[in-house]
Amino acid sequence: MSKRHSSGRQATTGLPNPQNSPAQQYKFSSDELDNLVDSFIDLIIDDFIEKYRSGQLDIAELKRKEVSMLSK
């Protein structure tokens, strides 16, 4: 049996049905996963370029972070 939480999640008792498990909703082929990762990386790079060109990017802060990461 299941009951609904105030957050909208369902609490279940007993073993879940494998076909209804959340992991089943997110099965991707290798190519689909590659495309998702590529799209995500493109978004990050585009955002970085946009911030750099508009002057919103703090270059000094990035350099400090780079130095601190290299010294670890």
Task: List the domain range (segments joined by +) for residue 67.
Answer: 28-72
Print pLDDT tens along the chain (72 aa): 444 445 454 555 555 555 566 666 778 789 999 999 999 999 999 999 999 899 988 888 888 888 777 776
**Predicted structure pTM score:** 0.48
Q: Is 37 part of any domain?
A: yes
Q: Is 46 part of any domain?
A: yes
Q: Is 52 part of any domain?
A: yes
Q: Is 23 part of any domain?
A: no
Q: What is the pLDDT of residue 18?
A: 56
Question: How does DSSP assign the chain, residue by residue?
Answer: -EEE-TTS-EEE-SPPPGGGSHHHHT---HHHHHHHHHHHHHHHHHHHHHHHHHT-S-HHHHHHHHHHHHT-
Q: Is 36 part of any domain?
A: yes
Q: Is 42 part of any domain?
A: yes
Number of domains in the chain: 1
**What type of residue is 26?**
Y
